[in-house]
């Protein structure tokens, strides 16, 4: 496989197709069995985001590659020194050793729905009800809300009607912490996806509020078990027969 991809790199440089004037490929390299694409996106309009995808000649550029990381996917910000990392063995298999060309496609990111309130909602508490609101989309959209912590998916709220609002409850088993976010997607169209801002999850009742009453009860129990006043708790010696 290594030999095949070393040869294919020469072809990649000549077979890349860029569908946005703002995107410029700077270099492509093979390092530790990973293909690394270096590029820039220039845009004079502040706040724009782009959807970046990579396609391969192994399926005639029909489906985007999945084993990608770096500056790729939804809402990529314009800038310089962007990098896409591809692991060919995961997409094509370990036994593939042929030639392959890549195609980078970019388009302006336009969310299919607009989430509301997550800029202000920095904290969600477990077991409480929260009304999530959004606008846009079509009435026939059926949504999935996937809760993530970092890169790990925690749970899914499936098959939500596109009514513009939904009341959700974060279960008690979800661990408190930061770096949580929702991936909101159309259940029938994986191309329609948006991400919320990051937020924190907290306990409904702070842990210290649970510890203090327990500590008070433990202290009270210890107090009642202790001897009171000046009571003589010594046990008298047994009387001998001639002392009765």
Residue 14 is predicted with a pLDDT of 42
What residue segments make up the domains of the chain, in order of their start?
2-108, 113-202
Walk along the chain (244 residues) and give the pLDDT tens digit of each residue.
444 454 354 444 444 444 445 688 888 888 888 889 999 988 888 788 888 999 988 888 898 998 899 999 888 989 999 999 998 888 887 777 767 888 888 888 888 999 887 776 678 999 999 999 999 988 889 999 999 999 899 999 999 999 999 999 999 999 999 999 999 999 988 788 998 989 999 997 765 555 555 555 655 555 555 555 555 555 455 455 554 4
State the pLDDT at residue 150: 92
pLDDT in the model for residue 90: 84
Measured between alpha carbons, how far is 169 from 163 in angstroms, rounded to an integer? 18
User: What is the model's pLDDT at position 144?
Assistant: 96
Contacts of 59 (CB under 8 A, 6+ apart): none
Specify the pTM.
0.62
Q: Which CATH architecture has domain 113-202?
A: Sandwich (2.60)
What pLDDT is stored for residue 190 in this prediction?
Answer: 79
Q: Using H for helix, E for strand and C for coil, what is the string for the chain?
A: CHHHHHHHHHHHHHHCCCCCCCEEEEEEEEECCEEEEEEEECCCCCCCCEEEEEEEHHHCCCCECCCEEECCEEEECCEEEEEEEECHHHHHCCCCCCCCCEEEEEEECCCCEEEECCCCCCEEECCCEEEEEEEECCCCCEEEEEEEECCEEEEEEEEEECCCEEEEECCCCCCCEEEEEEEEEECCEEEEEEECCCEEEECCCCHHHHHHHHHHHHHHHHHHHCCCCCCCCCCCCCCCHHHC
Burial of residue 56 (number of CB atoms within 10 Å: 0-12, 13-18, 19+) = buried
- CATH class of the structural domain 2-108: mainly beta
Give yes or no on whether 2-108 and 113-202 have one common fold. Answer: yes
CA-to-CA dists, residue 84 to 40, 81, 119, angstroms = 11, 10, 28
């Amino acid at each position: 496989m290594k030999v095949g991809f070393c040869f294919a790199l020469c072809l990649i440089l000549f077979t890349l197709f860029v569908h946005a004037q703002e995107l410029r490929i700077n270099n492509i390299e093979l390092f530790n069995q990973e293909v690394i694409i270096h590029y820039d996106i220039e845009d004079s309009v502040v706040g724009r985001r782009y959807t970046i995808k990579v396609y391969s000649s192994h399926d005639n550029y029909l489906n985007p590659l999945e084993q990608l990381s770096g500056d790729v996917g939804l809402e990529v910000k314009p800038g310089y020194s962007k990098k896409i990392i591809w692991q060919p063995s995961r997409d094509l298999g370990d036994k593939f050793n042929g030639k392959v060309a890549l195609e980078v496609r970019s388009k302006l990111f336009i969310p299919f729905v607009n989430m509301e309130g997550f800029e202000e909602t920095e904290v969600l508490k477990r077991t409480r009800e929260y009304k999530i609101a959004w606008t846009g989309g079509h009435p026939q959209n059926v949504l999935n809300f996937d809760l993530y912590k970092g890169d790990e998916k925690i749970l899914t709220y499936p098959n939500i009607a596109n009514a513009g609002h939904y009341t959700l409850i974060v279960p008690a088993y979800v661990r408190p912490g930061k770096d949580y976010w929702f991936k909101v997607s159309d259940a029938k169209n994986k191309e329609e996806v948006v991400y919320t801002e990051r937020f924190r999850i907290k306990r409904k009742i702070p842990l210290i509020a649970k510890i203090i009453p327990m500590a008070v009860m433990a202290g009270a129990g210890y107090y009642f078990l202790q001897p009171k006043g000046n009571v003589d708790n010594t046990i008298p010696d047994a009387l001998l027969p001639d002392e009765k």
